[in-house]
Amino acid sequence: MTPLAHAPPTRPRARRAVACALACLASATSLAGCSPGEPAAATPVPSATAAIASLPSATASASGAAPVGPDGPAAASGTASAASGSSAVEPGPSAAPVATAEPLEEAPLIGPDGTPLPQTDDRPSAASPQFQRHVELLFRAIVADDPAMAEVVFFPRVAYEQVKDIKKPGADWKHRLMKAFERDVHEYHKLLGKEPDKARLLGLDLKDDKAKWMKRGSEGNKLGYWRITRSKLRYADAAGREKSLEVTSFISWRGEWYLVHLHGYK
């Protein structure tokens, strides 16, 4: 027998196939409605552009963040959103810290090789920028009741160890001289009255022509130095009245004045 040739599908069967194909295209989850052996129609894939466009607008987000544009997210500058109806405000320059004067460089006490520099016989001057700065620091320390503010004003320990002809001069400097200085600062702070922060420095009366060269061996010293006594630290109190505080003794080191006794020699 001659095998029967495949006949073209009948009209009802063709209509059924077309309907199944349409159903497959409409369904995104299953092709179960198609009969076995019938080809499945390809599901179109949305383009990336269409996917991005379908996302909700960033202005509608709960966070209220500014929309992301082609140049990246809006800068966090406090600029008002257009949706709020406020005018856009450009941020101003950030607040710069208050400028402070550079601390005055102190005269060197230690040489490049790490050894203490020696004494000189140079006569100090009250016009020295370092000395004038020291006078200001001394008064500030008294106003603030803080001796540490004026430690650089005091005769350096490294110098005292070279000058004083006694055993353990460093210990004497720390436990006698510095303690007396701290005590005197506290005493003078009380003398400024109930409003010490309103006191104003007027100046220091120091008579350069009264400076005396103290020879080696005097006052228990191994080295000579210039000395001047009984200077007056002048100031105006809270009521504007001019007053003064005694500064008992300055001595020299390498051509600069340093405080060694603020009030008395105890």
Residue pLDDT, tens place only, 177-211: 999 999 999 999 999 999 999 999 999 999 888 99
Whole-number Å distance between alpha carbons of 231 and 109: 25
Split at pLDDT 50, 70, 90, the class of 75 is very low
Domain ranges of the chain: 129-261
Q: Which of 54-63, 123-132, 148-157, 209-218 has the lowest mean pLDDT?
A: 54-63
In this predicted model, which residue has the larger pLDDT, 165 or 60? Answer: 165
Once rounded to an integer, what is the mean pLDDT over residues 218-233? 96
* CB contact burial 204-240 (16+ within 10 A = b; e otherwise): bebeeeebeebeeeeeebebbbbbbbebbbbbebeee
Nearest to 110 by CA among 72, 63, 162: 162
Q: pLDDT class for 103, splitting at 50, 70, 90? A: low
Beta strands of the chain (E only): which ranges? 200-205, 212-214, 225-236, 242-253, 256-261
User: Hey, what are 131's tokens?
Assistant: 């000395």
The yes-or-no verdict on residue 121 having pLDDT over 80 is yes
d(CA 10, CA 8): 6
Query: According to the model, what pLDDT value does residue 106 have?
Result: 94
Residue-level pLDDT at 266: 77
Q: Which segment of 14-18, 111-115, 116-120, 126-130 scores lowest on mean pLDDT? A: 14-18
- 182 vs 174: CA distance, rounded Å: 11
- String of DSSP letters for 6-35: PPPPPHHHHHHHHHHHHHHHH-SS--TTSP
- At 124-142, the pLDDT tens digits run 999 999 999 999 999 999 9
| Distance in angstroms (rounded) separating the CA atoms of residues 159 and 222 | 11
Q: State if pTM tops 0.85.
A: no
Rounded Cα distance, 67 and 82, in Å: 11
- Decide if 225 contacts 163 (C-beta within 8 A): yes
Q: What is the pLDDT of residue 208?
A: 85
Cα separation, 173 vs 157, in Å, equals 6
The second-level CATH assignment, the architecture, of 129-261 is Roll (3.10)
CA-closest candidate to residue 206, choices 236, 245, 232: 232
